[in-house]
Amino acid sequence: MNWVGHYNYWVVIFLMMSGFYVVISRGNMIKKLLGLNIFSTSVFLLYISMGKIHGGTAPILTDNPNQVYSNPLPHVLILTAIVVGVATTAVGLALVVRIQERYGTIEEDEIRAKDDSL
């Protein structure tokens, strides 16, 4: 078991968890979206880490026939996932803006209080 070889994964897991922590521990809705962003960006890092080969280059054809290329498939998957991420952020933000207009706040506990008081 080569422990040193996994440091990259572990740091990425730490990043993921800090994003996840923001999502579940904060009441501010924009802050939660920031957390989601960190969470998903770190998952992207995990995927790309998997595709890396030591001594490889970017998967763009070169003249050298013996060139080692990194795995292009995770890159493609993550390109798609990035788009999904920004789309989710935008929709979430639209909801937050509407919530601010209708409730006058974006703190979850204040919103809950306003809902309960009705």
| Residues 70-99, interacting with another protein (CB under 8 A) | 70-99
CB of 44 to another protein, least distance (A): 7
Find out whether 30 and 106 touch, Cβ atoms under 8 Å: yes
- 113 touches another protein (CB under 8 A): no
Binding residues among 35-64 for another protein as defined by CB under 8 A: 35-61
- Cα 71 to Cα 10, 11, 50, 63, 74: the distances in Å are 21, 21, 8, 18, 7
- CA 11 – CA 9 distance, rounded (Å): 6
CB of 19 to another protein, least distance (A): 7
- 7 touches another protein (CB under 8 A): yes
